[in-house]
Amino acid sequence: MPDLQRLAPHHAAALLSFEQENRAYFARSVPDRGDDYFAAFDARHAALLAEQDTGRCRFHVLVDDDGAVLGRFNLVDVADGRAELGYRVAERAAGRGLATAGVRQVCALARDEYGLTGLTAATTRDNPGSLAVLRRTGFTPVGEVLLDGRPGLRHVRELTPG
């Protein structure tokens, strides 16, 4: 059973494998991270952990029983009780409800553990899977955005107690 865990130092190798194995898959729907991301991965991972320690971001990975990363679920720009949600799931895990389950878990963590009252998220209009995940998890579209030059929708979700 996959387990959602807060990003930690020991996730580095599995996270790098996840990003490398899914690079082309992710690039079909979100901007590519670029070669520098992979070349400087260890430093990038350390920087994310340091940023997480400030409370401005909360990074999570969904791992399988063998410790392989199946997805990432991140809360960034945490301020004034709100944050931006971002997520990605491995190609081999897509279509199994893991993105929906992960978003639901992160929403609960955001409310119950981190004290947040609302989240925003955005996805391109040509990403029906992500649009469906946001709809299924209680996000409401509130406006148009451009994401790397592509038309998208911005969504919000209020995090009510209980």
**Per-domain boundaries in the chain:** 3-158
What is the predicted pLDDT for the residue at 162? 64
What is the predicted pLDDT for the residue at 54? 96
* φ and ψ of 132, to 5 deg: -65, -40
- For the domain made up of 3-158, give the CATH fold: Aminopeptidase (3.40.630)
Q: Which residues of the chain have pLDDT under 70?
A: 162
What is the predicted pLDDT for the residue at 41? 96
What is the predicted pLDDT for the residue at 27? 87
What is the predicted pLDDT for the residue at 160? 87
Tokens of 74: 């991140």
Are the C-beta atoms of 135 and 128 separated by less than 8 Å? Answer: no
Which among 72, 140, 63 has a CA at the least distance from the CA of 103? 72
Tell me the pairing of strands 58-63 and 69-79: antiparallel
Distance from C-alpha of 131 to C-alpha of 128, rounded to nearest angstrom: 5
Mean pLDDT of the chain: 95
